[in-house]
Structure 1
Amino acid sequence: MKENLTPDAATHTVYLCQLGPIVSCGACCGLYNVADPDPRALEAMLRRRTRWFADAPRTVAGIDAFKARVESIEPQTRPLPDFHHCPYLGMIEDTGRRVGCLLHPLATGNHGLDWRGLSYYGGMACRTYFCPSVRHLPARWLTVVRQSMDHWYLHGLIVTERKLLTAFFEELENRIGRPVNESDFSEGNVTSLLFSTFAALKLNWPFRRNGSPGVCNYFFEDGQYLRSAVGRIVDGIPISPFETIFQELDSSFSSTGDVDEAEERLETIFKPLTRVLKNG
Structure 2
Amino acid sequence: MNDQSIALLFEKHKLRQAGLDIALELLELTELIQQHRGYTLAVLGGNNFFESRVVFKSREIDRHLQSIKVKLPVYSHAQADHPSSLREKQIKALTNEWLTISQHWRKDSAFECFLLHSHFINQVLKLIWDVAEVTGHLDVSVQHNQLVLLGLRKIPELIENIAQSRGLGVHIVSTPVRDDRILSRLDYLSQSIVDAHIQIVEELKGLNHDLSGELKNKLLSEQCYDQLLDYTKRLMALPGNQQHNPKTADLLFAQATRIITLQYEIARKTIRSLNYSMEPAMQSWVGFG
**As a proportion of its length, which structure holds more strand?**
1
Select the structure that is richer in helix.
2
Q: Tell me which of the two structures has the higher relative contact order, counting C-alpha pairs closer than 8 angstroms and 6 or more residues apart.
A: 2
TM-score bracket for the superposition, by shorter chain length:
under 0.3
TM-score (norm. length: structure 1): 0.25
| TM-score where L is the length of structure 2 | 0.24
